[in-house]
Structure 1
Amino acid sequence: MVDTTEAMAALQRLTALLGRRHDDWRAFKIPSDRALLVSFINPHAVRMTIDRPGYVADLAEMDVLLPDGNLLASSASRQLGRVIVRESFDGNSMAPEVFAFCRTHALKIALVGGVHGVAERAAGVFATEFDAEVVYARSGFFTGEGEVQACYDRLRALNVDVVICGMGAPHQERFLLGLKDSGWKGLGFTCGGYLDQALDGGVKYYPEWVNRLNLRAPYRLCREPGRLWRRYLVEYLPFVVADLRLRLARGPALPGAEP
């Protein structure tokens, strides 16, 4: 059963994070004196905010936080009284731009995510499609903290400029934050299931007509019903309830968000 008050509070906390002023990752210069981390949230983040203490704190440490999906972007825009644009790390949104940025600036890329072999195969796809220089690729599963630290050491030793991490929330955010804490000073992105998507449906997972008509969620559900039915029909429920209550309240729920 959904606690409506708790769900509304969670959605408003997430909206405040989406509404912060943030740096433009496209202006990031390498070498840099600090890392810059970019992550994305979808409506499931409301459920995770309720269930996982510390998740919002991890999101707050991301330098750039963006809404993955029109439902969340629309809700945030209405609450904040200004337009919040949907951006996702996929082939129909930000991924081609990130790889083009890396190619233009001759940046070295690492992929971390998926089960064994996924990141390595995705590296081949990205090299072919985007002329990406992927110098390191490994799965997102680690046997312990020592293996995670060894991965951090390897990424720093290779002077990797950009890390794309697809481990699922909250693990991918924690991985990038740990990498930043280890002294790495590059550009990091979370990408959710994009590495698997790139292997399954190509770098552009969604046909153009699906993307144009904003039918990405139904399309994914049709393609991956076994994995996604619970997410869309159960895990998104707290967001749906909270957003509906805020709609009924009429007018922005938040006056805005300060940096």
Structure 2
Amino acid sequence: MSRDDQLITSLRKIANFDISDLDDKKSRAYTFVNPYSVKLLSESNIQINQFDKIYVDGILMVFILRLLFNIRVKRHSFDFTSLADVVIGYACNQDKPIAFIGSDFESNQLFCSKIRSQYKDINLGYSRDGYFGKEEYPALRNFIQENSIAIVILGMGTPKQDELAIYLKSQLSNIIIFTCGGFIHQHASTENEIYYPHIIDKLNLRFLYRIFDEPKLLKRYIYEYPRSIFWLFKLAFKDKNV
């Protein structure tokens, strides 16, 4: 099966979030895709079908999936406009040890300080930056296992965070893993509890705010996104002609 065929099959795992997704009777891994990240995943060696669910990050991807693949889902992102409070709140209410892995050291420390302030009952079992290689995966796995970490949030960028998520799922029992993209960095960098201003979120203009806040992303939106969208159109055409 070609990578494109694998991806088309994996797209069928795109679904809406349900609170039962946090059931830890077995290990589960979840990731999020937008036009840019889904193409990066297709170009990697990651077995996307190993994720239990794939959520749609961004209103543009919601429209593309509906138009091209007849997949009708809502937008779910790991940030405070969407799933972050649900997942972190669940960890607090159930006293589940949670780990945040990602961003640089200073941003990660600042993020954790803010999270402790926001969630007084959080059991923050582990945190570290996201700058490490595969050679450190076994030690990380052992630490998570020995300290009974129940939920792991990975903000290391696609596809690195996805690779680690699948590795941890395959190595550990009864653990829930979410990728979160730039969530740790974004939350650390804002003075507010929510990164996106309310009006920006309401009008679905989050991508414009990110460009304003992080100008280095401009190239991604004006160059990589159109290429990725064109690729998705070709993928949909191939799917309809199989």
**TM-score, normalised on structure 1?**
0.81
Aligned residues with identical type, % of pairs: 25
- Secondary structure of 1:236's counterpart equals helix
1:236-251 matches, cutoff 5 A? 236-242=225-231
* Distance in 2 of aligned mates of 1:22 and 1:46: 15
**Other structure's SS at 1:181 match:** helix
Aligned partners of 2:15 and 2:55 also within 8 Å: no
* d(CA) in 2 for partners of 1:108, 1:92: 23
- Could you tell me which residue of structure 2 aligns to residue 224 of structure 1? 214
- The structure-2 alpha-carbon separation of the partners of 1:121 and 1:241, relative to structure 1 and needing over 3 Å to count, comes to same
Unaligned runs of 5+ in 1: 1-8
The correspondence for 1:37, drawn from 22, 29, 35, is 29
Aligned residues: 236
Aligned in 2, Cα 1:152/1:91: closer, same or farther, shift over 3 Å? same
Q: Deviations over 1:208-229 (max 9, x none)?
A: 1000001000111111112x01
The alignment's C-alpha RMSD in Å is 2.7
User: Offset of 1:200 from its aligned partner?
Assistant: 0.9
Counterpart AA for 2:207: A
Structure 1 residue 181, shift from structure 2 partner = 2.1
Rounded Cα–Cα distance in structure 1 between residues aligned with 2:44 and 2:88: 34
Number of the residue aligned with 2:62 = 73
Contact map agreement 1:15 1:79 (CA 8 A) in 2: no
Cα gap change, 1:73 to 1:154, in 2 (>3 Å): same
1:54 maps to: 45
> Which deviations, in whole Å up to 9, do the C-alpha atoms of 1:161-203 show, x marking residues without a partner?
1000001111111111111222242111000110011111244
> d(CA) in 1 for partners of 2:147 and 2:125?
8
SS of the aligned residue for 2:105 comes to coil
CA contact (8 A) 2:16 2:76 kept: no
CA contact (8 A) 2:15 2:73 kept: no
Q: Is the 8 A contact 2:58 2:75 kept in 1?
A: yes
Q: Matches of 1:26 and 1:229 in 2, distance apart? A: 35
Structure 2 residue identity aligned to 1:233: I
Contact 1:25-1:36 within 8 A present in 2 as well: no
- Partner of residue 203, structure 2: 213
Unaligned 5+ segments in structure 2 are: none
Over 3 Å counting, the alpha-carbon distance change for 1:205 and 1:24 in structure 2 is: closer
Indicate the structure whose relative CO is greater, using CA pairs within 8 Å and at least 6 residues apart.
1
Q: How much does 1:121 deviate?
A: 2.3
- Say yes or no: does 1:19 pair with 2:12: yes
Residue matched to 1:3: none
Q: What residue number does 1:157 align with?
A: 146
Q: Any residues of structure 2 matched to 1:160-179 within 5 Å, and which?
A: 160-179=149-168
Deviation at 1:46, TM superposition (A): 4.6
Taking the aligned partners of 2:233 and 2:166, their CA distance within structure 1 comes to 33
Does residue 181 (structure 1) correspond to residue 170 (structure 2)? The answer is: yes
Deviations for 1:126-172, whole angstroms, at most 9, x for unmatched residues?
A: 12113322111011112551x22111110111000100000111111
- TM-aligned CA distance change 1:136 to 1:188, over 3 Å: same
Asked whether the equivalents of residues 67 and 73 of structure 1 are also in contact (C-alpha less than 8 Å), the reply is yes
- Is 1:134 aligned to 2:129, yes or no? no
